[in-house]
Amino acid sequence: MVTRDWSGWSIGSGIRIWGVGRKITKRLALHGIQTVQELRTAHAPTLRSEFGVVMEKTQRELQEISCIALEEHVPDKQQIVNSRSFGKPVTELAVIQDALSVFVANGTAKLRAQNGQAALLQVFLQTNRFKPEQPQYNPCMAVPLPQPTNDSLVINRWVQHVAGLLWRDGYNYKKAGIMLGDISPISMVQGDLLEPQANGGNRLMKAIDGLNSRFGRGTVKVSTGGMRKEWGMRQERKSPNYTTDWSEVPVV
């Protein structure tokens, strides 16, 4: 292995080191460290005590000792939240339910992607807290599901029911969302005599995920989701989705 000679490289002027700015460069100079080579060979415990563990890791990297461990496994999420602020105030339950159906589709897709199932559902609505002159109402309800599931249709039925319970007329709703919690692997499914497993639903969800993965998110969705445009965010200045949506690819 070829060893690089760093003795002629001055820190700050000849070469920039990630995480070593002007102030730290001056502090290093006070300890007699002005070149990269001097930083590489400095007393490691002193570096750690004076500059912290990050500087010690920087020294090790300069010594060609990797300190960045590759994360082979990303831990599964314990909660999945899907929510959005509306582009304009919403005053109709049907519009809220339409938005919540979209949130369910997105949330359950993430749930299935990690091979998980949720046993707890939370639904919340919010008015605009930045307009205190308007009536305020911010309800939230958590519901334990009869059995863990990642089925969009099952969860959506519960969401629509809870939304109806939370709804109150006379308010300008600014935001809504859902939270899927108490998540466990689907391998931990426990049978229930009163709630038999819906294998057909599992096959349907796999088919929906496959089509949406191939043709774009939202290609196949619940009939109550995404049909109303009143709740969408303002996107007049949004850049086209050239790389993710075939319909937005420019035609030459």
Question: Residue 89 CB: number of other CB atoms within 10 A?
Answer: 15
**Looking at the domain assignment, is residue 132 inside a domain?**
yes
Which strands sit side by side in the sheet containing 80-90, from one edge to the other?
Answer: 80-90, 173-185, 116-127, 140-149
**Looking at the domain assignment, is residue 92 inside a domain?**
yes
Q: Say which CATH number the domain at 55 has.
A: 1.10.150.20
3-state DSSP assignment of residue 10: strand
Q: What is the pLDDT along the chain (252 residues), one digit of tens a residue?
A: 445 665 556 666 656 676 677 888 888 888 888 888 888 888 888 888 888 888 888 888 888 887 766 455 667 889 999 999 998 999 999 999 999 999 999 999 999 999 999 999 999 999 999 999 999 999 999 999 999 999 999 999 999 999 999 999 999 999 999 999 999 998 876 656 555 555 556 788 877 777 777 777 777 776 555 555 666 655 555 566 666 666 667 776
Sign of CA dihedral 244, 247, 250, 252: positive
**Looking at the domain assignment, is residue 1 inside a domain?**
no
Residues 45, 109, single domain; the answer is no
Reference 11, options 60, 52, 62, 66; nearest CA is 62
- β-partners of residue 118 are 149, 183
Question: Residue 25 CB: number of other CB atoms within 10 A?
Answer: 17
The tally of domains found in the chain comes to 2
